[in-house]
Structure 1
Amino acid sequence: MKIEGDISKNDIEKALKDYKISSLERDKDGTYTVTFTTYKVGENEIQLGDKKLKIDVVSTVGPDEKDIYEALSNPNNTYIETDYPHIGILATIAGVIAIITAFFMHLVDRAKDPYIIFKKGMSKVNDSNWKERISLELRRYIDNMYSTNFLGGEYNVIYPLTKEDIEFIKDMDYLKFAPNREGDYSEYKKRAFEIVERLRKEKKNSV
């Protein structure tokens, strides 16, 4: 769903709190693109700002798929349990599945970690894209950590951000629209990491 108008990322997340949001990104033109899922079949109503949206959700399960176990009602298909070490086998399989699931959940949690996302984004910074990329990754990290709207250009000073941090971000904005202005991008990259590391430290100390 593409969303236009005067609305924040936080407003969209609140409107879709009963749904599973797969992705929520702000495009360059200021609009939001959100992908979400639900298992609630029927008419769903979403209050988004001053608009009320109605979405009709239809099940993907067809009528011919609802009675797929009819053969089990036939006595001839009854399973007669014999003395096999099935309990041990099932326990082993369940244990392996639990380990694999925990591993993948760990990977999913890491993929959602704002710091991991920031470091991956910053690893792609180079001499040709640094004016846009450093600012983008820093503002995205701040929004993910504090539910702000820095990606939308709303630079509010909130603890533990300082006025110097805001000035640095504004300076990066100026660089994006000043193609003739040069600079040592490694210094800007270093400063962005210093800000993020300080914010991470403050977050840990407050927990």
Structure 2
Amino acid sequence: MKKVVTGLFLFLSLLSLSKEYNIGDKITLKIEGAIDKSQIEKALEDYKISSLEKNKDGSYTVVFTTYKVGENEIQIGNKKLKIDVVPTIEPSEKEIYDALSNPNNIYIENDYPHMGILATIAGAIALLTAFFMHLVDRAKNPYIIFKKGMTKVTETNWKEKISLELRKYIDSVYGTNFLGGEYKRIYPLTEQDIEFIKSMDYLKFAPNRDGDYLEYKKRALETVERLRKEKKNSV
């Protein structure tokens, strides 16, 4: 709510001005006479000035706010302006605040650890999310997939399984199409790696041809470990 106090500087009517204002009200005062801007600022230094402008007729218009309850006396030049400021709450409402001064009515946050509980829940959610993302990353990791597949190699399925897991790993890491039978040599694959994979193909289509599946499994594992090491060193 904006209220206006209009007075003529050096006139007696300014002294007789008396109105009530609420705390925080903007008070507009028009000042006429032999006074400059610095004198007005000095007179209102204990108040919050929102604006102070000089008008075309030489007068000043100042807008200010006070938060001091009671009679405010402002000395401007050789004149005094009295402004009554009243609180915005009724006496009955004040009793509410008086009750809060009683230590028994003080809210102690430590007695209600809501923030601590919320922080714990948030931390648990973050931890579970991180753990879940870790599991997802592991599930997509070509090396983890290869190792898991190799644990399922048996004496009866090794001719197909070792070749399948090795080619899946190479395609996942290097973007090749070994699963499709396109054995394109790409660094760090060697000619010996290509020949080893081809030999596994021969075994798949030669059921009467035997071999030590543990040796083939060992070589496949060693091949992948070497490829991982060389890829890491090339980064």
Same fold (TM over 0.5): yes
- The answer as to 2:188 corresponding to 1:160 is yes
Give CA deviations for 1:3-61 in whole Å, capped at 9, x if unaligned. Answer: xxxxxxxxxxxxxxxxxxxxxxxxxxxxxxxxxxxxxxxxxxxxxxxxxxxxxxxxxxx
In the TM superposition, what are the counterparts of 1:136-155 in structure 2 within 5 Å? 136-155=164-183
Q: CA deviation at 1:113?
A: 1.1
CA RMSD of aligned residues (A): 1.3
Alignment-derived partner of residue 98 in structure 1: 126
Which of 181, 187, 193 aligns to 2:215? It is 187
Q: Flag structure 2 segments of 5+ consecutive residues without an equivalent.
A: 1-106
Alignment-derived partner of residue 47 in structure 1: none
Q: Secondary structure at the match of 1:93?
A: helix
Code of the aligned partner of 1:119: K
Code of the aligned partner of 1:193: L
Alignment-derived partner of residue 150 in structure 2: 122
Distance in 2 (alpha carbons) for counterparts of 1:173 and 1:180? 14
Q: Secondary structure at the match of 2:189?
A: coil
Q: TM-score, normalised by structure 2?
A: 0.52
In the TM superposition, what are the counterparts of 1:26-175 in structure 2 within 5 Å? 84-175=112-203
State the structure with more CA Rg: 2
Q: CA deviation at 1:85?
A: 3.4
Q: CA deviation at 1:168?
A: 0.5
Number of matched pairs: 126
Q: Secondary structure at the match of 1:104?
A: helix
Distance in 2 (alpha carbons) for counterparts of 1:178 and 1:205? 38
Q: TM-score, normalised by structure 1?
A: 0.59
List 4+ stretches of structure 1 deviating above 2 A: 82-88
Identity of aligned residues (%): 80
Q: CA deviation at 1:194?
A: 1.1
Q: Secondary structure at the match of 1:160?
A: coil
